[in-house]
């Protein structure tokens, strides 16, 4: 564990201000008051393919800290979409990342949002959603959408704050990931994130397993 403090953003603080405004508008949908660090964003972006013509979707991209890392990995032929529920954050993200297809919409309707844009399958989904703030039904609805769009060959990456692990909703989400995916890898904690966080890297939805979002 590093004893170094988490980095404080310098220079342009507009992204940080927009993040705070979104949190004030709807704290139940924004799980932090600080954007993800570069190190955490790099870990999340690892599931984005670096060759071919992949389609990658972000859920809850916020001000774009992870968006930038995903874009750096993707080849020129890739398609990069970002689904953001907060209208102000969506506008800010589009201004900062004009090459990304920013969609102001709800992750619970991911399949519908992609179908409207002619997309049936994606190679990777990267999520910045605050899972520990969601009830069981919402967690499973969104994961069901993710499973439907990545199929058997895609990958899913998301993160959690270390301090939330004892929270029942966070424990439930972790257990649901293991229900849904054959492979769930937890990365090392990024101590220089604010607050410290780690990633879940998931692949291979279990065939015939429980469908997220379906009645239990």
pLDDT given at position 39: 94
Instruction: Give kind and range of the element (H or E) at residue 14.
Output: helix 14-25
pLDDT value, residue 3? 31
Are 155 and 55 within 8 A, CB to CB?
no
- What confidence score (pLDDT) does residue 213 get? 53
* 8 A C-beta contact, residue 110 and residue 83: yes
**Quick one: pLDDT at residue 189?**
96
Rounded distance, CA 205 to CA 181, Å?
4
Q: Does the pLDDT of residue 187 top 70, yes or no?
A: yes
- Residues 122-160: tens digit of each pLDDT: 999 999 999 988 999 999 999 999 999 999 999 999 999
**What are the boundaries of each domain within the chain?**
14-204
Residue 35 has pLDDT above 80, yes or no: no
Distances (CA, A) of 187 to 40, 42, 86, 118, 170: 10, 12, 28, 33, 16
Quick: pLDDT tens for 66-122: 999 999 999 999 999 999 999 999 999 999 999 999 999 999 999 999 999 999 999
pTM recorded for the entire structure = 0.84
pLDDT score, position 81: 98
Helix (H) or strand (E) holding 199: strand 197-205
Q: Is the pLDDT of residue 59 over 60?
A: yes
> Given strand 181-186, what is the order of strands in its sheet?
101-104, 79-84, 55-59, 124-127, 155-161, 197-205, 181-186
**What pLDDT does residue 63 have?**
84
Task: Identify the CATH number of the domain defined by range 14-204.
Answer: 3.40.50.150
């Amino acid at each position: 564990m590093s004893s170094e403090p988490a980095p404080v953003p310098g220079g342009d603080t507009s992204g940080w201000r927009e993040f705070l405004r979104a949190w004030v508008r709807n704290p139940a949908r924004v799980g932090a008051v600080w954007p993800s660090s570069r190190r955490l964003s790099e870990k999340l972006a690892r599931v984005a393919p670096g060759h071919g013509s992949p389609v990658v979707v972000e859920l809850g991209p916020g001000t774009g800290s992870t968006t930038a890392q995903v874009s750096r990995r993707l080849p020129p032929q890739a398609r990069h979409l970002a689904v953001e529920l907060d209208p102000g954050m969506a506008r800010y993200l589009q201004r900062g990342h004009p090459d990304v297809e920013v969609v102001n919409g709800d992750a619970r309707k991911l399949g519908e949002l992609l179908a409207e844009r002619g997309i049936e399958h994606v190679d990777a989904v990267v999520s910045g959603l605050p899972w520990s703030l969601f009830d069981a039904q919402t967690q499973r609805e969104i994961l069901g959408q993710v499973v439907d769009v990545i199929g058997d060959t895609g990958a899913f990456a998301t993160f959690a704050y270390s301090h939330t692990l004892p929270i029942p909703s966070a424990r439930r989400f972790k257990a649901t990931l293991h229900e849904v995916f054959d492979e769930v890898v937890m990365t090392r904690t990024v101590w220089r994130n604010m607050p410290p966080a780690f990633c879940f890297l998931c692949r291979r939805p279990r065939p015939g397993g429980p469908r997220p979002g379906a009645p239990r």
